[in-house]
Amino acid sequence: MKNFILPIEKLIASFSKLPGVGRKTAIRYAYYIINSPASDVRNFAQTMVDAKETVHYCSVCGNFTDRDICEVCTRGDRTLVCVVAEPKDILALERVADYNGTYHVLHGLINPLEGVTPNDIRIKELLTRVSLDHVREVIMATNPTVEGEATAIYISNLLKPLGVKVTRIAQGVSLGTDIEYVDEVTLTRALEDRREI
Ligand SMILES: [Zn+2]
């Protein structure tokens, strides 16, 4: 038999769409599902549907939440905002114990080569927040890559006329390193040594 029967082939195709999953792994996953008890498979599918239906962007910061306003925005200082590219960057920064501000997730970085313009990421929402919440400082914590730097500079140019202090986390981090993989000590120092841009 050259091909899998259609229901299995469809399952393999679905698993192949997951990040880091090649066809070989997708086939293994498909057989795992077929061999699992029906109730387990139903629960698994329902967990995915539930997560997809209940998780959305926080109406303030854009982080994932199952409420209207996320926990960090509820308890944090909203006049101090740390700007990150993705929700996963918040997890890393939250390990820095003495930061009591809030975050703003851009959900991407400006990248002209891939057609990502300033309108495609959540910059408008940041500007609205800055005036509504009387933000005193915006810390740019995008990764130290070409796109991360360009986005930081672009946003800082928009914010400066509004009288907001804009800072950039210190680059104790080597070029191209993802913030999510940086250790606590380095990240704490990077935040403490932030400089105005
Ligand atoms: Zn939030």
For residue 178, the CA-to-ligand 1 centroid distance in Å is 22
Q: Does 188 lie in the same domain as 131? A: yes
Predicted model pTM: 0.78
**182 and 126 in one domain?**
yes
Return the DSSP state at 121: T
State whether 182 and 97 are in the same domain. Answer: yes
- Between the CA of 73 and the centroid of ligand 1 the distance, in Å, is 4
Residue 32 has pLDDT above 90, yes or no: yes
User: What mean pLDDT is predicted for residues 2-9?
Assistant: 89
Q: Are residues 19 and 66 in the same domain?
A: no
Sheet-wide strand order for 137-140: 101-105, 77-84, 137-140, 165-168, 195-196
Are 103 and 162 found together in one domain?
yes
Ligand 1 midpoint to CA 78 (Å): 10
**Three-state SS for 92?**
helix
Q: Ligand 1 centroid vs 22 CA: distance in angstroms?
A: 35
- Pair 91, 177 in one domain: yes
Q: Residue 81 is inside which H or E element, if any?
A: strand 77-84
Tally the domains of the chain: 2
In a domain, 168, yes or no: yes
Residue 93 in domain: yes
Name the band, by pLDDT with cuts 50, 70 and 90, for residue 172: low
The CATH number linked to 36 is 1.10.8.420
pLDDT tens track for 58-111: 999 999 999 999 999 999 999 999 999 999 888 888 877 678 899 999 999 999
pLDDT of residue 97: 65
Residue 180: how many CB atoms within 10 A of its CB? 17
Is 141 in the same domain as 65? yes
Same domain, 126 and 185: yes
The answer to whether position 137 is within a domain reads: yes
**Residue where the block lists tokens 């928009």:** 158
Report the separation in Å between the CA atom of 64 and the middle of ligand 1, taken as the mean of its atom positions: 8
Instruction: Assess whether 189 and 134 both reside in one domain.
Output: yes
Range(s) of the domain holding residue 36: 6-54
Kindly state whether residues 79 and 16 are assigned to the same domain.
Answer: no
Tokens for 60? 């303030």
Candidates 146, 139, 145; CA nearest to 197 is: 139
Tell me whether residue 1 is in a domain. Answer: no
What is the average pLDDT value for the chain, to the nearest integer? 89
Q: Which residues contact 54 (CB under 8 A, 6 or more apart)?
A: 66
Quick: pLDDT tens for 121-145: 999 999 999 999 999 999 999 988 8
3-state helix, strand, coil in the chain (%, to 5): 50, 15, 35
Same domain, 102 and 48: no
Same domain, 39 and 98: no
CATH of the domain at 124: 3.40.1360.10
